[in-house]
Chains A and B, each alone.
Chain A
Amino acid sequence: MSDIVHDDLTESADDHDSHGHHESTGVDNRKLGMWFFLSSEFLFFGTLITNYLLFKGRDFGPGSIYPVEFYDIPFTSISSFVLLMSSLTMVLAHAALVRGDQNQTRTWLAATGMLGLVFVSGQFFEFTEFVNEGLKLTTNPAASAFFLLTGFHGIHVVVGVVLLLSLWGKSVRQPGGLSPEQGLSVELVGLYWHFVDIIWIVIFVVVYLIQ
């Protein structure tokens, strides 16, 4: 914490103020709030990943089955790649908006949302497969932890898709496209989206690839 303080001790809080009352740190309230929220999200996912790691190696007695026996690595690799690329389209959408290119913004926002949907559908398919093959939430704690972790991540993706599509809807509906201020919303949704992506980067390796 003292590091955060340091910035502020050396520069006066009112350096950037010309008039009225604005952000003492020079970072928009919403953006600052978003970064703190994302920082806190590490603890959410940290707990879930830890659960999985704790249970994945335990012995649940004879005849028990483990999520690792069900993984379809080629399939998950593709959906991981899809999510990774959606981060690219997201950042392109934001870059286009900064340039003032409303058309491209619209396209890339839609593309990001679509890629997100593809990822979620893939996860839905994966879950269905697992359940059909006999791995259920109720099977054992390792299975419970797997479903809760990936499910919780999946819900994050769904929320992101909803946000993206509603932004896209606005950019289509509004005559001049997104306003510069809505650029901040795009930026915030982008931060959230990239965060969901980096969490998957970790999950992909820690849960799926490390044996």
Chain B
Amino acid sequence: MSQAVEVHHPKPKDYIRIAVVLGILTGFEIALFYLESAVGDDLPGWVFPVALLSLSAIKFLMVVAYFMHLRYEKPMLSRVFSIGAVLALSLFLILLAISGQIVVFG
């Protein structure tokens, strides 16, 4: 654990600010859920999933970047971490695609 790296760390206040933002984003997510229940039929089907997924992606990245302080680490660790994330995402999208077909035609 190198002290030189620790120096760059945000202060507790910054963490609290980030947590507040995360909380607000969660609030948005929940609001979107109820909004969809209310007016979902008037909008194209992809709007709410896309909005929700974007919000969760932002939260995801904030936690990774600040709480897991990946922003302040050597870039190598980001790559290590993203290999798994990207691989999982792409493999399972392909799997969903080919299996989705089974649902459609089967």
State whether A39 touches B30 (Cβ < 8 A): no
Partner of A25, one of B6, B32, B74, B99: B74
Which residues of chain B (66-106) have a CB below 8 Å from chain A?
Answer: 66-68, 73-77, 79-81, 83-85, 87-89, 91-92, 95-96, 99, 103
Inter-chain CA distance A39–B1, complex, in Å, is 20
Which residues of chain A (189-204) have a CB below 8 Å from chain B?
Answer: 190-191, 194-195, 197-198, 201-202, 204
The interface residues of chain A, by DSSP majority, are classed as helix
The interface residues of chain B, by DSSP majority, are classed as helix
Inter-chain CA distance A46–B95, complex, in Å, is 11
Chain A interface residue count, CB cutoff 8 Å, equals 60
Interface residues of A (CB under 8 A from B): 1, 3-4, 7, 25-28, 31-32, 35-36, 38-43, 45-47, 49-50, 53-54, 57-58, 73, 77, 80-81, 84-85, 87-88, 90-92, 95-96, 98, 180, 183-184, 187, 190-191, 194-195, 197-198, 201-202, 204-206, 208-211
- Collect the chain B residues with CB atoms within 8 Å of residue A204's CB: 29, 56
Interface residues of B (CB under 8 A from A): 1-2, 6, 9, 11-12, 15-16, 18-19, 22-23, 26, 29-30, 32-34, 36-37, 40, 48-49, 52-53, 55-56, 59-60, 63-64, 66-68, 73-77, 79-81, 83-85, 87-89, 91-92, 95-96, 99, 103
Nearest 4 pairs of A and B residues by beta carbon: A39-B84, A46-B88, A42-B84, A88-B19
CB contact under 8 A between A205 and B15, given known A27-B76, A58-B103: no
Q: How many Å from the CB of A24 to the closest CB on chain B?
A: 11
* A-B residue pairs in contact (CB < 8 Å), sample of 30: A4-B79, A26-B2, A32-B80, A35-B80, A39-B80, A42-B88, A43-B88, A46-B88, A46-B91, A50-B92, A50-B96, A57-B103, A77-B30, A80-B26, A81-B23, A81-B26, A84-B23, A85-B19, A87-B67, A91-B66, A187-B1, A194-B63, A194-B68, A197-B67, A198-B60, A198-B64, A201-B56, A204-B29, A209-B32, A211-B37
State whether A39 touches B68 (Cβ < 8 A): no
Interface centre among B49, B64, B68, B81 (most CB of A within 10 A): B68
Smallest Cβ-Cβ distance to A84: which chain B residue: B22
State whether A88 touches B91 (Cβ < 8 A): no
- Collect the chain B residues with CB atoms within 8 Å of residue A92's CB: 12, 15
- Collect the chain A residues with CB atoms within 8 Å of residue B2's CB: 26
Partner of A91, one of B15, B36, B76, B88: B15
- Collect the chain B residues with CB atoms within 8 Å of residue A77's CB: 26, 30
- Collect the chain B residues with CB atoms within 8 Å of residue A210's CB: 48-49, 52-53
